Amino acid sequence: MIIKNYKNKTVLKGMSLKEIEQWCQSQELSNFRAKQIYQWMYRHGVSEADNMKNLSKDLQKKIDESCVLETLKIEKIDESNTEPTQKILFKTIDNHFIEAVSMLEGNRHTICISSQIGCNVDCDFCATASMGLIRNLMTGEIIDQAIAIRRIVKTPITNVVFMGMGEPFLNYNQVLSAAHILHSHDGFDLGAKRITISTAGIVPKIEKLIEDGYKYKLAISLNATEDDTRQKIMPLNRNWPIKSIIKSASRFAARKGHNVMFEYVLLKGINDTAEDAVRLANLIQGIDSKVNVIPYNETDGKYQRPSTETIEQFLKILNKNKKGFRILVRWSKGEDINAACGQLAVTNI
């Protein structure tokens, strides 16, 4: 369900410029007003019409009375004691909760945002899976996470990753609309390559992203090198096995200026052997890509992080066998506040 109207109010937040123009037409307003409203909402992050300074008082009043300009309320902010990472808990207008994370490192301010309330992809190792899927987020709710973080954390946002709660490709249209606002010069003005959409491997949507021709970055959570293993930890592998993912990933990366990031969560005794490292190197050889090895962040005790020696050994073998891809280790941020990869699940509010 997507909320377009809420209590007879139009949800303006999240609309594209075209949609705001249509709304302006329906209100018998000139088209140029649409761009002003767009810039106030997204470039300036204004959530009260009174602060949209170049609009007439009448129009401000009309917007205030008939439109929703803010879709989320901040419920709680957790700050890590060990690094400049914050986890923000939001409440939606229909009283659900979602989380986003802000991470500062050098000149980078990366935010990790949610695309759904909960998730039904059911990856066995991921805490969000335990929530099930409540609903897709609207574009406005996706953007409001970024707007709120921009208000809380003064350092400008440099990167956005759709790696929070949910499977972005099962909410493709809203996620892409949000990415366009982040990218737009009149919105957040972020380069397309600074916006990464991460998927558990919904192959038809990878194909759609190729067809649509957008320049956003793609991350794929591969997480295993054999179908048997992947099926156990990621049941969606039954629909889209490793071979089909690799095929789409190569098609994606074969286009000029595109590459793929493969995420590989290292799980003790599951996917962390020397053979796995060799198989991983062979699977992705020749694809313009980067492998992001993520030592598992423990959640409910079912899975463990491998020992440091095993992790190092895995990386060493991967590195020795690598053919044309880069390797990166992601020691996740904000573990002490359950803000790390796969730890986002609304439990204790």
Residues catalogued as catalytic: 99, 341
Instruction: Check binding of 265 to ligand SAH (CB under 6 A).
Output: yes
Exposed/middle/buried for residue 75 (C-beta within 10 Å: 0-12, 13-18, 19+)? middle
Least distance from C-beta 5 to ligand SAH, angstroms?
A: 29
Q: Considering only residues 20, 287, 341, 345, which one is a binding residue for ligand SAH as defined by CB under 6 A?
A: 341
Would you call 8 exposed, middle or buried from its count of C-beta atoms within 10 A (0-12, 13-18, 19+)?
A: exposed
Residue 299 sits in the site that holds ligand SAH (CB under 6 A): yes
Cβ contacts of 322 within 8 Å, gap of 6 or more: 281, 285
Q: Hey, which bits of 47-137 come out as E strands?
A: 67-68, 72-79, 85-92, 97-105, 108-112, 116-118, 133-136
Residue 297 as a binder of ligand SAH (CB under 6 A): the answer is yes
Segment lying near ligand SAH (by CB under 6 A), choices 72-80, 85-93, 137-145, 292-300:
292-300
Residue 163 in contact with ligand SAH, rule: CB under 6 A? yes
Whichever of 93 and 261 has its CB closer to ligand SAH, that residue is: 261
CB 210 within 8 A of CB 252: yes
- Pick the closer one to ligand SAH by CB: 42 or 252: 252
Structural element, H or E, at residue 216: none
CA pair distance 100, 157, nearest whole angstrom: 13
Region near ligand SAH per CB under 6 A, out of 58-66, 119-127, 268-276, 316-324: 119-127
200 contacts ligand SAH (rule: CB under 6 A): yes
Based on CB atoms, which residue is closest to ligand SAH, 189 or 227? 227
Q: Which residue is nearest to ligand SAH (CB)?
A: 342
Residue 134 binds ligand SAH, judged by CB under 6 A: no
**Identified binder of ligand SAH from the candidate list 221, 225, 248, 338, rule CB under 6 A:** 221
Among 16-24, 35-43, 65-73, 193-201, the segment contacting ligand SAH (CB under 6 A): 193-201
Q: Which of 126, 287, 311, 339 lies at the binding interface for ligand SAH (CB under 6 A)?
A: 126
Q: Count the Cβ atoms, other than its own, within 10 Å of residue 78.
A: 17
Near ligand SAH by CB under 6 A, which window of 8-16, 52-60, 83-91, 294-302? 294-302
Q: Is 182 in the site for ligand SAH (CB under 6 A)?
A: no
Question: What's CA 300's distance to the chain center, in Å?
Answer: 23
Q: 């914050």: which residue's tokens?
A: 86
Pick from 159, 171, 199, 259 the residue near ligand SAH by CB under 6 A. 199
- Is 141 a residue that touches ligand SAH (CB under 6 A)? no
Under rule CB under 6 A, residue 337 binds ligand SAH: no
Question: What is the number of other CB atoms lying within 10 angstroms of the CB of residue 268?
Answer: 16
> What six digits make up the tokens of 271?
């996917």
298: number of CA atoms within 13 Å, CB side?
9
Could you say whether residue 342 binds ligand SAH (CB under 6 A)? yes
> What does the block give as tokens for 31?
């088209």
Told to check if 172 binds ligand SAH by CB under 6 A, we report no
User: Tokens in use for 139?
Assistant: 């574009």
- What number of chain residues touch ligand SAH (CB under 6 A)? 19
Which stretch of DSSP H or E encloses residue 11?
Answer: strand 9-11
Please report whether residue 263 would count as binding ligand SAH according to CB under 6 A: yes
Q: How many whole angstroms separate alpha carbon 64 and alpha carbon 134?
A: 29
Question: Which residues are at the interface with ligand SAH (CB under 6 A)?
Answer: 121, 125-126, 163, 167, 198-200, 221, 223, 263, 265, 294, 296-297, 299, 341-343
